[in-house]
Amino acid sequence: MQLQYTELENGIRLITLTGVLDMQGTFSVQIQFARHCEGENVRVLVDLVGVSYISSIGIPMLINTARSVTSQGGKMALVGPMYDVNRVLELTGVSIIIPIYHDFDTAVAEISKESS
């Protein structure tokens, strides 16, 4: 599993994950992933386009981090999961906790909106 971090011009933190989010993959990125999501009122977009598989070990990393971001007044969203990954996210209820977008521009627009 590879993690790439970029900060977009509008202050959104973009975390791009590539590979397999199984036990080994999750353990290899979870600390770095959490660190990039720290802070108050952060907006984090997690690009899953390059993730070919997600296991039950990878799901808590996403959920726990999203809850932490939200508790600090921020927002987190997922973008571009492959069909099989999206299916797992939907079946496990992740999509109820973390918004999932299939279009990058839509995801950026939505996460940029001010909270009401």
Using CB atoms within 10 Å of the CB of residue 75, give its burial: 0 to 12 exposed, 13 to 18 middle, 19+ buried: buried
Could you tell me if residue 60 is inside a domain? yes
Which ranges of the chain have pLDDT less than 50? Answer: 116
Could you tell me if residue 116 is inside a domain? no
Q: What's the domain range around 88?
A: 2-111
Total number of domains in the chain: 1
Instruction: Please indicate, yes or no, whether the overall pTM of this predicted structure exceeds 0.85.
Output: yes
- Could you tell me the CATH number of the domain that includes residue 12? 3.30.750.24
**Cα(78)–Cα(37) distance, rounded to whole angstroms?**
13
Encode pLDDT of 83-106 as tens digits: 999 999 999 999 999 999 999 999
**Cα(74)–Cα(98) distance, rounded to whole angstroms?**
12
Three-state secondary-structure class, residue 102: coil
Could you tell me if residue 38 is inside a domain? yes
Share of the chain above pLDDT 70, in %: 97
